Structures are given as C-alpha cells and as structure tokens.
Amino acid sequence: MSTDGLLTGTVQSETVDPDALVAALFAEHAPSLVRLAGLFCDDRNAAEDLVQEAFIRLHRSAHTIKDPAKAPAYLRSILMNLARDHNRRGLVSLRHRSTMGEPQVAPGFEDAAIASGEDRAVLAAVRLLPDRQRACLVLHYYMELSESETAATLGISKSSVKTHCRRALTALESTLEERR
C-alpha cells in the first residue's frame, strides 16, 4: 500500500496500516519534531528520545485514528505532552541531583546552526515563556502550522492560540529590550 494516501485522508481508517502510517510520518516529520522537542527540553539527546517515544505511542494507538490526515497533529500533541512531562521530571531531578558533574554531551549539528548571539538571545527568551505561550509561538511561527493546526495540536481554540501568540510576542519583545 502506498503511504501517499495515508496522510491525505483518502484511505479508510479500517485499512490504515499502523507501520506504514508511522513510517510515512517519520520520514516527513522526524527532523522537525526533534527540533521542536529541543526547544522544550534543551537537550538534543532527550529531544530525540522524546520523539522516538512519541512515535511508539502513536503506533500503539494508530488503530484509534479515524482520519489519517489528523495523525501529524496527534503526533505533535503526544510530543508536547511528553516534553512537558520531561520538564517536570527534570525539575524534580535537579532538586535531588548529587554534586557530581553531569557528563557533557556533544552538541548536535543543528545546535551549531544557532550561532549568532542574537539567535541565542531569542532562543533563551523563548525558553523563558510560560509553556502554553511557548508552545503556541513555536508551533505557529517556527513549525509554520496554521492557527487551526496549532489549536488542534494543543487541544485549545483558535482564539486561544491567537491570544497566547500575542502575549508571547509581547513578552519576547520586552525581554529582548531589557537585554540590549
């Protein structure tokens, strides 16, 4: 079966092959999902692990997907929830970490892409945003999802996406002005 029809919604849900669906989504979305997760967990290895786990969970529940065209939004939603949980666990582990240093992980090739000081400042400011504002901003502007797709991914309304993006942009502007 061709994977082209899997993501367009032309295949009936009873005939969707979970392996083919996940393979098609992986081929199309894996690199951008790693970058997305990296913006939330600040560790490339953890981002890759989160994306892998998101695909595993999507595969497990693929039989429940009625419209394969909505699978990318469902996958992003799984990833966002995993990243949020990862951050919560990270805060707990920071409180309990020993005084021994953590092993340093070499940055990935994409980490080097953010080379300029201005880019690093923007990224640092984005990481300071509240979770919902950061998620809306990253999904809408960085991942270039429409307001509807962003809303579907996060399970909120389009007007909430607009509000969170507006608040996030205002906060970013303020934070970046303070740093100049």
Contact present, 110 and 44 (Cβ < 8 Å): yes
Please tell me whether residues 65 and 122 are part of one structural domain.
Answer: no
Predicted confidence band at 78 (pLDDT cuts at 50, 70, 90)? Answer: very high
Tally the domains of the chain.
2
> What pTM did the predictor assign?
0.67
Show the domain range for 44: 1-94
Please tell me whether residues 123 and 59 are part of one structural domain.
Answer: no
In the chain, where does DSSP find H-type helix?
Answer: 18-41, 44-61, 71-96, 117-128, 131-137, 147-154, 158-179
pLDDT in tens, 146-159: 999 999 989 999 99
Please tell me whether residues 80 and 133 are part of one structural domain.
Answer: no
Give the pLDDT of residue 94.
Answer: 38
pLDDT in tens, 54-65: 999 999 998 888
Examine the pLDDT at 162 and tell me if it is beyond 90. yes
Cα 159 to Cα 52, 81, 100: the distances in Å are 31, 21, 46
Six token digits for residue 16:
């969707």
pLDDT in tens, 88-116: 765 444 344 443 444 344 444 444 444 55
With 0-12 / 13-18 / 19 or more C-beta atoms within 10 angstroms meaning exposed / middle / buried, residue 27 is exposed
Amino acid at position 48, single letter:
E
The CATH code of the domain that includes 79 is 1.10.1740
Give the pLDDT of residue 14.
Answer: 56
Of residues 68, 59, 65, 60, the one with CA closest to residue 2: 68
The CATH code of the domain that includes 135 is 1.10.10.10
The answer to whether residue 79 sits within a structural domain is yes
